[in-house]
Structure 1
């Protein structure tokens, strides 16, 4: 069988440099790269007609059952990373589509998170714009030492954030639905309730996996508790925060500011109210966008494809 492979959402046009796709083409496999997001599910289905192998970059493209059912040729769907909420893995299993994942970089997301936090605390984007416009110093930032860092979700990324907070001399508290005091202590944090976290935190940072249980885990009550001096940082998933409430909080001065790498809809559309909300530092979902991370993602995807072609799939993801 002649296979056709599609690499999706290669925004920076760099996928070709991170794996030996030419080796697959030498086996007669056609490799097609798509750089831009698809405008609609219909456009996605049309573009992938006859494609047997798809490599998806994180959750940039959504694969619900109704899309997968319209792709009868699809046999292998590879996602970068080992979890992807945008893929209906149950539907894939029903339709005989193998889903595989890849390794990833454990440092990429927490490093970006800390960079956004520092940029927000010291007003770096505003000061850079001001400097380029000819103004010398226009804001007053604040130090992290002695402040309280509240971590919502103490998994692999959250634990690294706890270490960063400790290194900066911060008091670290944490909460998630199933977190225990022992697990929090092992990461250098104190377990508190969600309400206590948002009341005490000078900076609240989110590191939960998105699910029905975690959607809107931060809403108006949490933002009110965070208070006029508190900062919110979200590099996990946009829907963890009620973005309507967040826009009201920023415009109304309920909180000091927000640093965001993720949004309800991505790419963020022109005219979105967060683009004009005050006291924000925004980045276009760069948490995993590093050379080291892409080397893991695309290198792992290449391994997944070659293993599947050999009849022995690796890193399979089931419903």
Structure 2
């Protein structure tokens, strides 16, 4: 069945066209904005109710008089943003770690001692510089992460250049050292996976003074990369033993080129399956947080926040049926892609 592809494509189109689909204009398909409140207008109005100015609420209103149809469009945009944004971040972390761990194992990667020392110095000195000088300038988690990565990267690069220059006269710095990269990556995966993701989300978001949707995307991506890395590692453990990899290695193809040009492309197909499941889980996690009132700004209309309002007013069935139906179809569509993959 191809309904899953059509449904997800429709969600993407609605998310892109959301500013034009729901706006305070009589010519718009939905003549209301999701954030527009009408405390003097119909609240908890059933579908089809007319507003005082003659515009119709096709799917009813919530407790603040906001249009339900406009809220569904805004929630669709939030769902697509959370699913796509967290997936990109998880792929940026999980693909390199999983690919290197699965292809090289514990003895296949060798780095010069100068490089290892530079990485350790970069992590130590860069983190110390960040905590001592830059942490006060960070306005949020995104700035915090950016400043820390830049600090570690700059110190590691400078250390590597200096050690490489010194290594011309010190022979021991040029000797390669085997890196147990597979063991390190598996240890990191187990460390991140040992704490339930929902607990981390609620704990971190409860400490934030100003809720932000981007923070939700960041945290979901940072804790969700483990499934991608674990799957890709297992897939490359199988691919690296295939005959064509051994034949390419005999012809003199470099290990890194062999990984990125020959082994990794054959793992992209199965990786799409895991990515589809991750998108559905991310959207469900965001809806759960919105339902609990954690992490998402109070004025942000999402599917989860609409479901939370239906809990306070059970007779307003439209606030539960319509967002619940969209959430269910979205997760089922992602799982359908997983089964077809």
Fold shared, TM-score > 0.5 on shorter chain:
no
Higher relative contact order (CA 8 A, sep 6+): 2
If you compute each CA radius of gyration, which structure gives the higher value, 1 or 2?
2
> Which has a greater percent of helix?
2
What TM-score comes out, normalization by structure 1 length? 0.24
